[in-house]
Structure 1
């Protein structure tokens, strides 16, 4: 365990050494932003709308008392979406989409000796392959979480309009009622940490792949599983520290 942790830290140190040519790294970052960001926008949008709608419907179902104002539904949906649903569920979904892609891509380059060829040519392979992915992860995943929050709250509005259990006016009023800005800070911290976890762990699993095609698939699976576990653990730690 400590040996693996040491290799993980060493790999990150090698990844963020001074680049040989900034323009090459910048081009790679732009390519990763398109792949991770725009490529993930569709699945994030679909999941967010439905999660917001379901959260609103279930909250309205549980608030059956006439003594509880209907505006509470909007407030509960807002807080749960910003604090938990959008950052955590989005990160778990992206761990499957982005993480498996990173691990399999780097793992394939390892088993086909492309990484060895880069090192022979004097290229810092960890820096060229991993740092653009990590930098993109900690920038694009928070942006995707912002989109997820907006669409989740929009999904709740659509659910209110369709079900009529809670009026859209009450829902919108509840979104601004008793708002605490700290939940936005917690959401942002979670998104950045989750982005780093997904990209760095999956890149580590791919970089140290040994064998052939079967081992590449195993590395991708390990990367996704370990990322999901660490996301849930980090979610608990961040919530305990900041709330």
Structure 2
């Protein structure tokens, strides 16, 4: 219980440090430090994001399109797929990929540095580990996760168009003309906001679990595993809360179509 309490306090402390840096103080230096992690972040995640988004959309479209054809609602196929991926599937799917590929890496790196006393060395040199190690990692995820989300959205729409054309004979022009619904760009903006929220919580949680690792080299593995589990739970809870706050209205996306 004391360990969890310590992690929560550290989480809040890091969040305050992040807000301080984002207010303009030393933000340029932190962004420069974040470039190194972005170079790790994007290449490690982009391929699996594209492949996963393509085939998830492939299966989703395979199941949905035939039902819309039965209802004679071909003009809604693109919009429904677009709404599904922009609002829910792409943000959550991308976050899960990032947790497995990047958050686990952050936790294991920091836990290993703690075990090998590298963090103690930073303290001896008068360097704040939060500023030097954690804030750049958080900023890299805040920049990288929304970019991957956008890539996932457009990959899923391309996949949906491919399924409609190859399997059901729906011309891509028909599909793509129905993709942009009334609130398309507003929903795209909200989807980016959602991934920003996910990025902050995932990155801080993974860093907290890494920097509070205990038990030597054995503890590195335990910290990484528990970090992934906690991040997944947080994403699912946050997804509900953010979806309720961002998309909780009774106005249909097709009301003025």
Which position in structure 2 is the counterpart of 1:82? 86
Distance 1:123 1:15 in 2: 16
TM-score, normalisation: structure 1: 0.91
Instruction: Kindly indicate whether the alpha-carbon contact (under 8 Å) linking 2:82 and 2:157 is maintained by their aligned counterparts in 1.
Output: yes
Instruction: Kindly indicate whether the alpha-carbon contact (under 8 Å) linking 2:7 and 2:209 is maintained by their aligned counterparts in 1.
Output: no
Distance 1:15 1:177 in 2: 36
Distance 2:15 2:133 in 1: 11
Residues 1:165 and 1:214: Cα distance change in structure 2 (over 3 Å): farther
For the pair 1:63 / 2:68, whether they are aligned, the reply is yes
What are the superposed Cα offsets for residues 92-144 of structure 1, whole Å, 9 maximum, x if unpaired? 11111111000000000001111001110111111111000001111111011
Residues 1:237 and 1:24: Cα distance change in structure 2 (over 3 Å): closer
Does 54-63 or 31-40 show the bigger shift?
54-63
Instruction: Kindly indicate whether the alpha-carbon contact (under 8 Å) linking 2:31 and 2:139 is maintained by their aligned counterparts in 1.
Output: no
Residues 1:16 and 1:238: Cα distance change in structure 2 (over 3 Å): closer
For the pair 1:134 / 2:128, whether they are aligned, the reply is no
Residues 1:21 and 1:173: Cα distance change in structure 2 (over 3 Å): closer
Instruction: Kindly indicate whether the alpha-carbon contact (under 8 Å) linking 2:115 and 2:216 is maintained by their aligned counterparts in 1.
Output: yes
For the pair 1:53 / 2:81, whether they are aligned, the reply is no
For the pair 1:32 / 2:37, whether they are aligned, the reply is yes
Distance 2:108 2:127 in 1: 21
What are the superposed Cα offsets for residues 136-157 of structure 1, whole Å, 9 maximum, x if unpaired? 1111110111111111111111
TM-score, normalisation: structure 2: 0.86
Summarize the alignment of residues 71-110 of structure 1 with structure 2, pairs less than 5 Å apart: 71-110=75-114
For the pair 1:222 / 2:226, whether they are aligned, the reply is yes
Distance 2:156 2:201 in 1: 23
Instruction: Kindly indicate whether the alpha-carbon contact (under 8 Å) linking 1:75 and 1:178 is maintained by their aligned counterparts in 2.
Output: no
User: What RMSD in Å do the two structures reach over aligned CA positions?
Assistant: 2.3
Runs (5+) with no aligned partner, structure 2: 248-257
Distance 1:87 1:122 in 2: 39
Summarize the alignment of residues 106-117 of structure 1 with structure 2, pairs less than 5 Å apart: 106-117=110-121
Instruction: Kindly indicate whether the alpha-carbon contact (under 8 Å) linking 1:60 and 1:165 is maintained by their aligned counterparts in 2.
Output: no
Distance 2:26 2:240 in 1: 39
Which position in structure 1 is the counterpart of 2:155? 151
Instruction: Kindly indicate whether the alpha-carbon contact (under 8 Å) linking 1:15 and 1:128 is maintained by their aligned counterparts in 2.
Output: no
Residues 1:63 and 1:21: Cα distance change in structure 2 (over 3 Å): closer
Runs (5+) with no aligned partner, structure 1: none
